[in-house]
């Protein structure tokens, strides 16, 4: 370790910043976050610093730096563009044993400032010992994206209970067990969902043993159409914390790669006409697993509430008193159209968009064809490969032009993403003559033509 990491309490303590430019302004703001009493010494200041002075956030002494300015300071930052002055500030501070930082001059510093992920009271500091600050910042960006914002609130909540928990459990092991459960269970999830009051009540109840804290939870998570980069932060977090994952055919291999390594994986199928586990079986399995105290992630393709039967699954959970949460995902219509260069709406071509199921029941689709066969609208058919002939016939019979552009998207957003463009009249021939791999989505509307200009994703392939 080149530097020893510590966190210093500078609240209400005098800190000096020499210089009044943009860099000084950034450092002052950091010091203010820790509630320091900042004095800035500079003959001139930038607008930001002037604003802080105006709002009484800091004291400005408009003059050149003098040796006596270091007196009584607990921390000094020199942020001027004058190398000689910076060296002088550094030497004086070091002589007086006051920690000093000179921006971008590690040799003149007695402490360096890390990249910070601020989830106060949780604060993560990252340093490369001045060797690769950009790398430290990249690491910071990674952490920023994976650590939920609400961790700070969780830590604050825990802080409020610390004494009580200490009083109840004498030994450290028991305390640790209690907190681990709180931080990875329902309490934490409620904080993340913004329900701080409920989380507080639950934590109190767990402490008093007045609720069954052994019941698990179900996360109904939208895994998106295939590309793992389209997962939400929340989906990823819950996938990585669940003990059991129930997934089906629509969840891509790349997305499955991201679930917790040691989680139990249960395939519940749903291949067309070949349901490995019937829907009622899935609903019940979710209840049973949660009642064993397990955290269950029901991972679905796309969005769980769009042709995903997510509603039915959580209905059973609600009836059985199992806590659950739902994470939306990018639905196939959105993912496939975007990755095909087809905007679903467009001021000139389509003012509305309908998502409909093309699933055949007894050889037909029970759809309001009159409402669908209109201009200036985009229709997205899910589950419609087998019904392509039927939907083409029906739309044309209800007045839609046979030349209406149509796109058929295979395995959208995955590495095998493929788009076929045709017309409504020729769609049945395309489906009959080409080898097409499920899942597929059919997009009907003038917007399909825009693909010629707007395609950005699979330009080399088609």
Annotated binding-site residues read 22-23, 43-44, 225, 301-303, 306, 331-332, 383, 412
Query: Considering only residues 405-444, where is the footprint of ligand SAH by CB under 6 A?
Result: 409, 411-414, 439-441
Residue 272 burial (CB count, 10 A): 12
Q: Which of 19, 114, 185, 302 binds ligand SAH (CB under 6 A)?
A: 302
- What are the b/e assignments for 279-295, b being 16+ CB within 10 Å? eeebbebbbebbeeebb
Q: In this structure, what are the phi and psi dihedrals at residue 209, rounded to the nearest 5 degrees?
A: 60, 25
Q: Is 270 annotated in the active site?
A: yes
Query: Considering only residues 333-362, where is the footprint of ligand SAH by CB under 6 A?
Result: 336
Given the complex with ligand SAH, which of 301 and 405 has the nearer CB atom? Answer: 301
Catalytic residue among 27, 153, 270, 300: 270
Binding site membership for NAD(+): which residues? 22-23, 43-44
Catalytic residue among 248, 300, 411, 418: 248
259: contact with ligand SAH by CB under 6 A: no
Contact 325, 249 (CB under 8 A): no
Binding mask 69-108 for ligand SAH (x = CB under 6 A): ----------------------------------------
For residues 95 and 73, what is the distance between their CA atoms, to the nearest angstrom? Answer: 13
Q: Which of 19, 20, 185, 225 binds ligand SAH (CB under 6 A)?
A: 225
Q: Is 248 annotated in the active site?
A: yes
Given the complex with ligand SAH, which of 217 and 248 has the nearer CB atom? Answer: 248
226: contact with ligand SAH by CB under 6 A: yes
For residues 383 and 403, what is the distance between their CA atoms, to the nearest angstrom? Answer: 22
Nearest Cα to 33, choosing from 105, 107, 93, 116? Answer: 116
Given the complex with ligand SAH, which of 203 and 409 has the nearer CB atom? Answer: 409
Joined together, the tokens standing for residue 403 give 């030349």
For residues 421 and 407, what is the distance between their CA atoms, to the nearest angstrom? Answer: 4
Strands, E, within 278-376: which ranges? 295-300, 324-327, 352-357
For residues 128 and 122, what is the distance between their CA atoms, to the nearest angstrom? Answer: 20
Q: In the bound complex, what is the minimum distance in angstroms from residue 428's beta carbon to ligand SAH?
A: 17
Residue with tokens 């913004």: 194
Nearest Cα to 178, choosing from 169, 189, 190? Answer: 169
Given the complex with ligand SAH, which of 185 and 301 has the nearer CB atom? Answer: 301
For residues 113 and 76, what is the distance between their CA atoms, to the nearest angstrom? Answer: 12
250: contact with ligand SAH by CB under 6 A: yes
Given the complex with ligand SAH, which of 156 and 357 has the nearer CB atom? Answer: 357
Give the sign of the dihedral formed by CA 329, CA 333, CA 334, CA 338.
positive
Binding site membership for S-adenosyl-L-methionine: which residues? 225, 301-303, 306, 331-332, 383, 412
Residues recognised as catalytic: 248, 270
Q: Which residues bind ligand SAH (CB under 6 A)?
A: 225-226, 250, 300-303, 306-308, 331-332, 336, 382-383, 409, 411-414, 439-441
């Amino acid at each position: 370790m080149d530097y020893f990491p510590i966190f210093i309490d500078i609240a209400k303590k005098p800190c000096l910043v020499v210089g009044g430019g943009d860099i000084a302004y950034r450092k002052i703001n950091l010091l203010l976050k820790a509630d320091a009493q900042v004095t800035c010494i500079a003959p001139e200041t930038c607008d930001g610093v002037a604003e802080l002075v105006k709002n009484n956030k800091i004291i400005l002494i408009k003059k050149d730096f003098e040796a006596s300015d270091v007196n009584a300071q607990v921390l000094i930052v020199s942020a001027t563009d004058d190398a000689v002055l910076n060296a002088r500030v550094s030497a004086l501070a070091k002589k007086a044993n006051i920690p000093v930082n000179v921006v971008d001059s590690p040799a003149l510093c007695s402490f360096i400032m890390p990249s910070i992920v601020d989830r106060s009271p949780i604060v993560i500091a990252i340093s490369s010992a001045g060797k690769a600050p950009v790398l430290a910042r990249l690491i910071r960006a990674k952490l920023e994206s994976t650590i939920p914002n609400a961790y700070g609130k969780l830590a604050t909540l825990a802080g409020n209970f610390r004494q009580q928990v200490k009083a109840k459990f004498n030994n450290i092991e028991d305390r640790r067990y209690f907190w681990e459960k709180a931080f990875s269970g329902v309490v934490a999830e409620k904080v993340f969902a913004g329900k701080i009051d409920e989380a507080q009540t639950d934590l109190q109840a767990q402490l008093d043993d007045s609720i069954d804290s052994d019941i698990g939870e179900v996360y109904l998570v939208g895994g998106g159409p295939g590309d793992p980069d389209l997962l939400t932060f929340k989906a990823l977090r819950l996938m990585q914390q669940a003990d059991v994952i129930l997934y089906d055919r629509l969840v891509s291999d790349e997305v499955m790669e991201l679930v917790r390594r040691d989680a139990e994986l249960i395939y519940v199928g749903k291949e067309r006409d070949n349901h490995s586990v019937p829907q009622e079986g899935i609903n019940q399995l979710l209840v049973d697993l949660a009642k064993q105290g397990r955290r269950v992630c029901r991972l679905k393709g796309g969005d769980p509430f769009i042709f995903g039967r997510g509603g039915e699954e959580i209905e059973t959970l609600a009836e059985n008193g199992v806590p659950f949460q739902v994470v939306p995902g990018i639905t196939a219509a959105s993912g496939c159209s975007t990755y095909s260069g087809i905007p679903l709406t467009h001021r000139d071509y389509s003012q509305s968009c309908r998502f409909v199921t093309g699933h055949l029941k007894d050889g037909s689709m029970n759809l309001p064809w009159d409402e669908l066969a209109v201009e200036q609208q985009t229709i997205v058919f899910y589950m419609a490969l087998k019904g392509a002939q039927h939907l083409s016939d029906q739309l044309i019979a209800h007045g839609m032009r046979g030349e209406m552009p149509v796109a058929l998207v295979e395995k959208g957003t995955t590495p095998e993403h493929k788009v076929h463009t045709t017309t409504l009249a020729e769609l049945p021939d395309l489906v009959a003559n080409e080898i097409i791999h499920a899942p597929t989505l059919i997009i009907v509307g003038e917007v399909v033509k825009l693909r010629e200009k707007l395609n950005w994703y699979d330009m080399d392939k088609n």
